[in-house]
């Protein structure tokens, strides 16, 4: 059974209250529950971690080695700034899918660049909480095809 690490970056702990017009009304708890249901359906396991600290996310990516087979990540604002998170993903060489609730390409120019996208299998952006569900599905399909 595949085990997937789900990482939620800064400010995502405030989902539900935070700019609901952009990020929707689902809380982080709702998203974690949705991912657990989706994981059961695909017969995989998910472990979720949210942190507002870049180093904690880097440590979690390192610790995934040998424990998880894939990474689903919404790095929040670190998407647009963090060479360290990108390097950690490259270092562990785990298949990674990047997700965003909002469509980052319809927003401010500074959100159009992702340090993670070039080292990810792919990116899903703009479908609200459904981005996570679609991202998990894509990651599981990739892992199953790879065998």
What residues act catalytically? Answer: 23, 100
Please list, in sequence order, all residues whose beta carbon lies within 8 angstroms of the beta carbon of residue 145, skipping any fewer than 6 positions away.
none
Shortest Cβ distance from residue 104 to ligand DQA (Å)?
A: 5
CA 93/CA 28 separation, integer angstroms: 27
Among 101, 116, 120, 140, binds ligand DQA (CB under 6 A): 101
Beta bridge partners of 98: 73, 123
Shortest Cβ distance from residue 135 to ligand DQA (Å)?
A: 11
Shortest Cβ distance from residue 100 to ligand DQA (Å)?
A: 4
Shortest Cβ distance from residue 73 to ligand DQA (Å)?
A: 9
Beta bridge partners of 101: none
Burial of 116 (0-12, 13-18, 19+ CB in 10 A): buried
Answer yes or no: are the C-beta atoms of 44 and 71 closer than 8 Å.
no
**Is there binding between residue 7 and ligand DQA (CB under 6 A)?**
no
Please list, in sequence order, all residues whose beta carbon lies within 8 angstroms of the beta carbon of residue 34, skipping any fewer than 6 positions away.
26, 129, 132, 133
Among 95, 102, 124, 139, binds ligand DQA (CB under 6 A): 102
Binding span for ligand DQA by CB under 6 A among 44-52, 61-69, 98-106, 132-140 = 98-106
Task: Tell me the site size for ligand DQA, rule CB under 6 A.
Answer: 10
Q: Report the interface residues with ligand DQA, using CB under 6 A.
A: 11, 74, 76-77, 79, 100-102, 104, 111
């Amino acid at each position: 059974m595949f085990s997937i690490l789900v990482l939620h970056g800064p400010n995502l702990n405030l989902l539900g209250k935070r700019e609901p017009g952009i990020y929707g009304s689902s809380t982080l708890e709702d998203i974690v529950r949705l991912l657990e249901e989706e994981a059961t359906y695909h017969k995989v396991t998910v472990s979720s971690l949210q942190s507002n600290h870049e180093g904690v996310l880097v440590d979690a990516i390192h610790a995934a080695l040998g424990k998880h087979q894939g990474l689903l990540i919404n790095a929040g604002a670190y998407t647009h700034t963090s060479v360290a998170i990108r390097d950690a993903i490259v270092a562990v060489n785990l298949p990674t899918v990047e997700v965003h609730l909002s469509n980052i390409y319809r927003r401010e120019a500074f959100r159009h660049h992702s340090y993670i996208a070039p080292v990810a299998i792919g990116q899903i952006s703009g479908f609200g909480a459904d981005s996570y569900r679609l991202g998990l599905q894509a990651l599981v399909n990739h892992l199953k095809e790879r065998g």
